[in-house]
A and B are shown apart, each in its own frame.
Chain A
Amino acid sequence: MTTSLHRTRRPVLPSMLKHGLLLLGALVMLYPLLWMLSSSFKPENVIFKDLGLIPRPFTLEHYVSGWTAIGVPFSRFYANSFIISGLSVAGTVLSCALAAYAFARLDFRLKRLWFALMLGTIMLPYHVTLIPRYIMFFQLGWINTILPLTVPHFFAVSSFFVFLIIQFIRGLPRDLDDAAAIDGASEWQTFWHIVVPLATPALVTTAIFTFIWSWDDFFSQLLYLNRITSYTVSLGLRAFIDSQDRSSFGPLFAMSVISLIPAFVIFIVAQQQLVEGVSRTGLKG
């Protein structure tokens, strides 16, 4: 009754106007991205004269020349980034899930204290631990290896995700756990065969955001990786800017486009997970 009232009241024109404005806004937002994509297929002398989005004439030369422009092929940077991000994801999901299960389902001494400390580290700026961590890795001889960028992830350093998974596990019914316990399942079996499968949505959210953050990371990679063969995509692009003269943006755009592919694929495949992850937790993305 009320909805039909609403519908009859709403005229067609404002609705079209609204869609028009929303579409215009979307176009303005996406225009720089689309322009970069299309420019990466335009010949160098056309890029800055042409504001259009259709590359004419069309060329792949920037992808070919950009791939090897700074000595080491871009595939190397890509592989390095994938190794670092992959290990970060594996470490974070595993260690955070273990800790979250303990906090959500088990009883132990000092639980309140640890829980409070876990919450306390969520908002802690990275910079407060930065310099001592650097000194520690320096003394371990880990500079110029991927270890400083991956090992901490195996120790659940992103408390935020511990919290995220705890909240999710708390929302799961306990019946299955109890049934498993009656059947003589150990805590490990309950964790692995019951809680982990049920908590998959939270684990996927954790995996996605850990991947994107470590893929986009620049600050710590800048600190720890100084040798060009161990460069990641972020560092490769940055070296690219320095090596290029101002006038050739084509190869730079081409490699920038390549660097965005993983995040874009995730965006296409896991849109629902992303939106839910953000609205439930305020993850930035």
Chain B
Amino acid sequence: MRHTLQTSSGDGVSVVTPPRRLRMSRELRRNLVAYAFLTPWLLGLLIFSAGPILASAYLSLTRYDLLSPPEWRGLTNYVVMFTRDPRFAKALQVTANYVLVSVPLQLALALAIALVLNRGIRALSLYRAVYYLPSLLGGSIAIAILWRQVFGLDGLINRALALIGIQGISWIATPETAVYTLVLLRVWQFGSPMIIFLAGLKQIPREFYESAEIDGAGRWNRFWRITIPLLTPIIFFNLVLQIISAFQTFTQAFIVSGGTGGPVNSTLFYTLYLYQQGFSAFNMGYASALAWVLLGIIGGLTLVAFLSSKYWVYYES
């Protein structure tokens, strides 16, 4: 290259041009290569995320049944939802109750077991694996079927109760108890937050505890003054993750209630209601509006968690 430049040094233009063109094409090439790697993801973003998000925002302002063209309704869907739709209110209440009861219980159990396992116990990996197994299998239809049986009238629980002379009810078919069988199903899956807590506990330096012990701090004090504060980032992380996932629970409620959300709408989870509106009644405009409210709720909860985090989450820095 240098040889070429030298021979053409008489011509000012050609001396300057080749390197510049070369540099530009290198810059262009670098971008082309990078975008080639990025293409599948970019197309996915446009076709399967960004496009549909905009489309669903539009559809939420219409009445649409998939076969005839969308009919503009302005904010009517949202107004109806918040003023004249008792099943929406019920779905919101059922889901909120489920999230508020199940997530704290699940995380408390996860933390408790993680604390026990963290203290240099033998066969740690065995316990960890066994406790994690329900989290891995829990999302399946098979487990939902099992749950239906366990808490049914002739189910495992009632058989066990019968042994001590108690006549059980059908926990699944009773409106007051049905949702709590699903709460138990979630609590049963405490294994994955437990593993995250275990990883967090390992990060806490031993010296903290040792010097606290020398200073005469008891077990209780050490727990509240060292473990909990240093673990708050992990607690926060688990909390946000589980709230988001709990709010979108669908399969278990669908199987346990046979798709109805019953008995008497007591397991009418939000996403189940969205499914019914969108794909049983084909109110796709209304279902899109429900999806946007769900996005608002999840976004809002995440925001609250983040904003409140500076008051209770301790970041070491």
User: Could you mark each residue 133-145 of chain A with 1 if its beta carbon is under 8 Å from any beta carbon of chain B, else 0?
Assistant: 1111010000000
Residues of A within 8 A of B142 (CB): 36, 237, 256-257, 259-260
Residues of A within 8 A of B271 (CB): 127, 219
Q: Indicate whether A275 reaches chain B with its CB closer than 8 angstroms.
A: yes
Bound state CA distance, A47 and B175, in angstroms?
A: 27
Q: Indicate whether A228 reaches chain B with its CB closer than 8 angstroms.
A: no
User: B35-82: which residues lie under 8 A (CB-CB) from chain A?
Assistant: 35, 37-38, 40-45, 47-53, 55-56, 59, 66
Q: Please determine whether B159 and A29 come into contact, CB atoms closer than 8 angstroms.
A: no
Bound state CA distance, A186 and B29, in angstroms?
A: 11
Q: Please determine whether B149 and A275 come into contact, CB atoms closer than 8 angstroms.
A: no
Q: Please determine whether A128 and B295 come into contact, CB atoms closer than 8 angstroms.
A: yes
Given contacts A156-B40, A260-B137, contact A48 B145 (CB under 8 A): no
Residues of A within 8 A of B59 (CB): 131-132
The stretch that binds B, out of A56-64, A66-74, A98-106, A197-205, is A98-106
Q: Please determine whether A98 and B140 come into contact, CB atoms closer than 8 angstroms.
A: no
Bound state CA distance, A257 and B45, in angstroms?
A: 37
Q: Please determine whether B34 and A278 come into contact, CB atoms closer than 8 angstroms.
A: no
Q: Indicate whether A223 reaches chain B with its CB closer than 8 angstroms.
A: yes
Bound state CA distance, A234 and B142, in angstroms?
A: 8
Q: Please determine whether B132 and A285 come into contact, CB atoms closer than 8 angstroms.
A: yes
Most buried by B among A154, A156, A253: A156
Bound state CA distance, A154 and B40, in angstroms?
A: 7
Q: Indicate whether B237 reaches chain A with its CB closer than 8 angstroms.
A: yes
Q: Please determine whether B284 and A135 come into contact, CB atoms closer than 8 angstroms.
A: yes
B58 smallest CB distance to A (angstroms)? 9
Residues of B within 8 A of A109 (CB): 31
Q: Indicate whether A11 reaches chain B with its CB closer than 8 angstroms.
A: no
Bound state CA distance, A242 and B192, in angstroms?
A: 32
Total of A-B residue pairs, C-beta within 8 Å: 259
User: Could you mark each residue 283-308 of chain B with 1 if its beta carbon is under 8 Å from any beta carbon of chain A, else 0?
Assistant: 01001101110110010001000000
User: Could you mark each residue 249-267 of chain A with 1 if its beta carbon is under 8 Å from any beta carbon of chain B, else 0?
Assistant: 1001100110110011011
User: Of A96, A129, A155, A278, which one neighbours B192 at CB under 8 angstroms?
Assistant: A278
A17 smallest CB distance to B (angstroms)? 11
Bound state CA distance, A19 and B130, in angstroms?
A: 14
Q: Please determine whether B145 and A237 come into contact, CB atoms closer than 8 angstroms.
A: yes
The stretch that binds A, out of B7-15, B97-105, B243-251, is B243-251
User: B254-291: which residues lie under 8 A (CB-CB) from chain A?
Assistant: 254-255, 258, 271, 274-275, 278-279, 284, 287-288, 290-291
B189 smallest CB distance to A (angstroms)? 8
- Size bracket, chain A contacts: 35 or more
Q: Indicate whether B141 reaches chain A with its CB closer than 8 angstroms.
A: yes
Residues of A within 8 A of B130 (CB): 26, 29-30
User: Of B156, B188, B192, B295, which one neighbours A124 at CB under 8 angstroms?
Assistant: B295
Given contacts A108-B35, A131-B287, A275-B128, contact A32 B41 (CB under 8 A): no
B316 smallest CB distance to A (angstroms)? 19
Given A30-B133, A36-B146, A129-B49: 16 more A-B contacts, CB < 8 Å? A18-B116, A22-B117, A30-B130, A48-B159, A99-B38, A102-B37, A129-B53, A155-B43, A187-B33, A241-B255, A252-B145, A256-B142, A275-B125, A278-B196, A279-B195, A282-B192
Q: What are 29 contact pairs spanning A and B, CB under 8 A?
A: A2-B210, A19-B123, A26-B127, A26-B130, A29-B130, A29-B134, A32-B150, A36-B142, A106-B33, A114-B38, A121-B49, A124-B53, A126-B248, A131-B278, A131-B291, A132-B55, A134-B279, A135-B284, A136-B52, A212-B139, A256-B146, A260-B140, A267-B133, A278-B196, A279-B196, A279-B199, A284-B139, A285-B135, A285-B139
Which positions in B face A, CB cutoff 8 Å? 30-31, 33-35, 37-38, 40-45, 47-53, 55-56, 59, 66, 113, 116-117, 121-123, 125, 127-137, 139-142, 145-150, 154, 156, 159-160, 163, 188, 191-192, 195-196, 198-199, 210, 237-238, 241, 244-245, 248, 250-251, 254-255, 258, 271, 274-275, 278-279, 284, 287-288, 290-292, 294-295, 298, 302
Considering the complex of A and B, which 6 residue pairs feature the smallest CB-CB distances, nearest first?
A155-B44, A108-B34, A279-B199, A256-B142, A99-B41, A132-B55
